[in-house]
Amino acid sequence: MIKRLLFTLTFILTCAITAQTFAQSAQGYTSTYFEIRKYYAHDGKLEDLIKRFNDHTVGLFEKNGMENIAYFLPVENEDNSMTYILGYPDKASRDRMWEKFINDPEWQKAYAASTENGALVKTIEQTFMVLAPGLNELPKPMPSGVIQMRTYTMFDGKIYDIQRRFKDHTQALFAKQGLRNYPYWVTVEEDGSQAQLVYLLGHRDQAAFDFAFQSFLKDPEWIKARDASEASGKIVEKVDAVMFKTLPFSPLK
């Protein structure tokens, strides 16, 4: 347990030291601390929620110092949700900015008006992240019709191995197949558990994405790189993937 905690602390420190450097090269983002927020809307309230974001929330986030990164709806929205990503200058500023936003008279007025007929949001899920060291030096991709958020859970002690494989092989092999590399992050786990890798991968539409990803999986270069990287054991324990479409007001397309 102590060994695992020391490993995690070392990893977080490494990310913190390199975050500022990579922030400037990560497709133009200036933030070093990020948050994924997933909102589950009450039945019949998702359109109202999206309208509130478009008309008020996005602008008020920016007004209060937050960086709007991306706004998504799942392609198959079975849970009546929307997901978005915000950036902050650092971890300490995140709570200050949210307190300022919540107490903003403009927000309070917009919130009150939008909830006259009931609350819009049922529950919220949050994930905190920093930029993955060494994986955000690619140029900003062209806009995509669909973007997949992929979350990797690694076996214990394999966080550095997955980053090395992406840096040395995977990102270039994605691009070879026409897949578009968006930002890469690692999660911040307050309980000391190993971070996850979170990244966005896009293409012009669902069919093109599926074809390109299957071509990537069959690519002999990928198979060789994967097998070599797993000579001492498997790296990835589980992958969660959700296909999104960006909302019209999303900065990331």
- For 105-154, what is each residue's pLDDT tens digit? 999 999 999 999 999 999 999 999 999 999 999 889 999 999 999 999 99
Q: For residue range 30-70, what is the model confidence (pLDDT) as tens digits? A: 999 999 999 999 999 999 999 999 999 999 999 999 999 99
The DSSP code sequence of 119-136 is -SEEEEEEEEEEEPTTS-
Q: Could you tell me the residue range of the domain that residue 202 belongs to?
A: 2-31+131-246
Question: pTM of whole model > 0.85?
Answer: yes
Q: How would residue 29 be classed by pLDDT, with cut points 50, 70 and 90?
A: confident
Burial of 38 (0-12, 13-18, 19+ CB in 10 A): middle
CATH code of residue 171: 3.30.70.100
Q: Which residue, chain included where needed, has tokens 């990893």?
A: 11
Verify that 115 and 206 share a domain, yes or no: no
Mean pLDDT lowest among 11-20, 49-58, 201-210 = 11-20
Nearest 10 degrees: CA dihedral of 107, 108, 110, 114? 130
Q: Residue 178 burial by CB count (10 A; 0-12/13-18/19+): exposed, middle or buried?
A: middle
Residue 232 lies in a domain: yes
For residue 82, being part of any structural domain is answered with yes
What is the pLDDT of the chain when averaged over all its residues?
Answer: 91
Q: Is the dihedral of CA 245, 69, 114, 38 positive or negative?
A: positive
DSSP code of 117?
Answer: T
* 213 assigned to some structural domain: yes
